[in-house]
Amino acid sequence: MMMRVLFLCTGNSCRSQMAEGLLRWLGGSVVEVVSAGTDPRPVHPDAVRAMREIGLDISRQKSKSAEPFFAQRFDYVITLCDAARESCPVFPGAAKTAHWSLPDPAAAIGSEEQRLQVFRSVRDQLAARIDDLLAEMMEGFLGKWSEMADPSQVEAPSKDSI
């Protein structure tokens, strides 16, 4: 059973792209992850840089509009900015929704190093939240497996079948 997750942000250029890359890497074959934006912009080069620092390459990821995903089913839809939450308060195909209000690293000011530090901080906050999300998903998987393995739910073989 594969879980489907959609990360939603306004521009789909920083936070949601980093979240997609992190969950794809950490979730492995258990999670199918996509990201989208309400007003998509190209992937920010500093998001690519911040992820490359931890060994993840998101340079081939593309910004996508949220619209094609509205008709799809997802186990989780997670908004990463207040603007996306306000413009998509109800996502029809979501089993569960969550809102992680994170600062927009693209709006960071200061030197190149100071701006990159904001991207790193958001990346690290995303990694911590994704770790919690995966723990929640695993509890759900384990619960389903234990229900399936519950001996009281299994019919005992008859003498004739032995």
**Is residue 153 predicted with pLDDT exceeding 60?**
no
In this prediction the pTM is 0.84
Residue 2: what pLDDT? 85
Higher-confidence position of 50 and 146 = 50
The answer to whether the beta carbons of residues 31 and 19 sit under 8 Å apart is: no
Residues contacting residue 31 through CB under 8 Å, at least 6 positions apart? 2, 3, 4, 5, 23, 24, 134, 137
- Residue 112, burial from CB neighbour count under 10 angstroms (0-12, 13-18, 19+): exposed
Residue 102 Rama label (left phi>0; alpha psi -120 to 50; beta): beta
In tens, the pLDDT along 14-63 reads 999 999 999 999 998 889 999 999 899 999 999 999 999 999 999 999 99
Give 157's pLDDT tier (boundaries 50, 70, 90).
low
Tell me the mean pLDDT in the region 125-154. Answer: 77
The answer to whether the beta carbons of residues 79 and 99 sit under 8 Å apart is: yes
Residue 29: what pLDDT? 87
In tens, the pLDDT along 63-114 reads 999 989 988 999 999 999 876 556 655 677 778 989 999 999 999 999 999 9
Domains of the chain (ranges plus CATH)? 3-135 (3.40.50.2300)
DSSP 161: G
Q: Using CA atoms, how far apart are residues 121 and 126, in angstroms rounded to an integer?
A: 9
Residue 159: what pLDDT? 55
Which residues participate in catalysis according to the annotation? 9, 81, 88
Element (H, E) at 94: strand 94-99
Q: Using CA atoms, how far apart are residues 48 and 132, in angstroms rounded to an integer?
A: 23
Residue 54: what pLDDT? 97
